[in-house]
Chain A
Amino acid sequence: MNTKAKVQLTAAFSILLAIGIGAMLFFAARQQKEASVKRSITDGVIREVSALNVITYNFLLDPTVAERTRWILKHESIGAFLRSAVFNASSEQIVLYDLKEGHQGLKAIFTQLTGEPDLARRNQLLGQLLAETRTMVADAFRLAKGVEREEAAILHRSGALIIIALIVITGSMMGFAVFLLMNLAKWQEAKRARNEFIALATHRIRTPLSAAKWYTEVLLAGDAGPLRRAQRDYLEKIEYSNERLIALVNDLLITARIEISTLIMQSEPLQVQEIASQVIHALTLAIKEKKLKIEERYSRAAPMVEFDPEFLRIIFHHLLGNAVKYTPPGGKITLAISFKKGAVVIAVSDTGLGIPQDQQARVFTKLFRADNVRKADPDGVGLGLYIVKAIVDRAGGSIRFESKEREGTTFYVTLPVAGGQY
């Protein structure tokens, strides 16, 4: 070995040693930091930090956590949820908690957060929470990929609302919990203000849309004089665009209501078949244009039941609307409505594009659109099934589907209804 080589080796060794010492120092410092964080959590001291700080802190603290956090923030729905939690939290407190660290810390935080003095009751609550976590972990693993999210709200004795959102990410096989501490009075006030704003803004947007709709209708009816072919053609395009805008505003409004939990059920005596027929009537033009066959299979009895007519209309509107949109010309749509004790069962089948197998788990996710429907109809926004699922959940019902690509899809909705003879 020549001198030059020796110098090079020594230099390389020195660098390795320096890296090694640096790494040791780094890990020691990290462990110390980690320990102090753990202590501050287990001590039940929820520090006054902004949510963003907590997330940033995790980045600095642990590269694995940083990696995962980055993954969360990149992930569409979870990222959106965390960001909204962060923004909603503002001056409130938020703690990101890694479930891998075991349940001891969680227990301490839980005690602190609930302020529940009764040990048995506290353990019972925590037990429920952990059981839910485990179910979610199991479910998430079973689904192999994707993300689950659960929220539980607990009222602190001090009057603060604690939202515990448990997030399970199966990609990295790791669980996260987000604890959000909010001042209940402030939270409710903010919610009320947002609700008022949405109601007012919606009304303001809808007014000019109504004017455009009706004036176009009058022109197209020839009430303001005969139209040339090109004029009629352009007016029909204006009408189509306006109707799309109306549908979008309606979807956005209901989505906003879902998100601030102000969907209120207002039950009325109604006939389910009648509402279905109204929705089909509204779709007649599109059905005729595509030469679709529509079969209505209603049970012979048409009982009066109690349900929210607006909710029911929205459910039919989206399920039937999707079937019409995504079924190729000449296809067939079947709507079956039947009643069993205390429930109505709605099934909407089509011979349409179907939902690709690998995308079926995300069908009810907000803004999600499967690749094949994106291609067939680039104009959609991906809110319909999210809205339907939220309404069905709100009503205490259930929804599921069977689908095969290029063969078709059937959605089954079961809704609890009051009244009626079956």
Chain B
Amino acid sequence: MEEAVKKILIVEDETLLREIFKTQLAREGFSVFTAADGAAGLAEALARQPDLILLDLLMPKMDGITMLKALRQDQWGARVPVMVLTNLSDAAAVAAAKESGVAYQDYLMKLDWKLEDIVKKIKDKLSLK
């Protein structure tokens, strides 16, 4: 049985980071789309219903936590797996993410992670080998 191509949404305001992620995830065979702020991210998420969302926190227009909260209000959005990928190691942000269903192990500090390991984590999360 052939598995359907998994869709990933990257919500990240930094162009350089967004691009390298998109390239590497596409290379791994994912269908990738992106948004550069929380407001666009929310619209994209609800319209395309990805299998997983990679979410930055500090962003213009709408920050990641606000987007996450809004997303969880939606029937579909309440369950979609979200991985926070940020450089904000603020205890308050970790707690807020956790409240919106992002466990500590899915709250990743960008600087602590190699791309390769993030890709592995995404595959684990989507139960892909």
Contacts and interface: CB of A to CB of B under 8 A. Distances in A.
Interface of A: 199, 202-203, 206-207, 209-211, 213-215, 217-218, 221, 223, 246, 249-250, 253, 264-266, 268, 309-310
Interface stretch (B43-51, B74-82, B87-95): B87-95
B88 A199 contact: yes
Interface in B1-48: 14, 16-17, 20, 23-24, 27
A309 B104 contact: yes
Given A203-B58, A207-B14, A214-B17, A268 B110 contact: no
Given A214-B17, A268-B104, A246 B91 contact: no
A204 to B, nearest CB: 9
A206 B115 contact: no
Contacts of B116: 217, 221
A217 B111 contact: no
A44 B45 CA distance: 66
B111 A246 contact: yes
Given A217-B116, A266-B91, A206 B111 contact: yes
Given A207-B17, A211-B17, A199 B90 contact: yes
The 7 closest A-B pairs by CB, nearest first: A206-B87, A264-B91, A211-B16, A210-B110, A266-B91, A214-B115, A214-B20
Nearest to B114: A217
Nearest to B57: A203
Contacts of B90: 199
Q: How large is the interface on B (under 10, 10 to 19, 20 to 34, 35 or more residues)?
A: 20 to 34
The prevalent SS among residues of B at the interface is helix
B111 A213 contact: yes
Contacts of B95: 266
Contacts of A310: 89, 94
21 contacts: A202-B89, A203-B58, A203-B88, A206-B87, A207-B17, A209-B111, A210-B17, A213-B111, A214-B115, A215-B16, A217-B114, A218-B23, A221-B116, A246-B111, A250-B111, A253-B89, A264-B91, A264-B92, A265-B91, A266-B94, A309-B104
A221 B24 CA distance: 11
Interface centre among B17, B87, B88, B92 (most CB of A within 10 A): B87
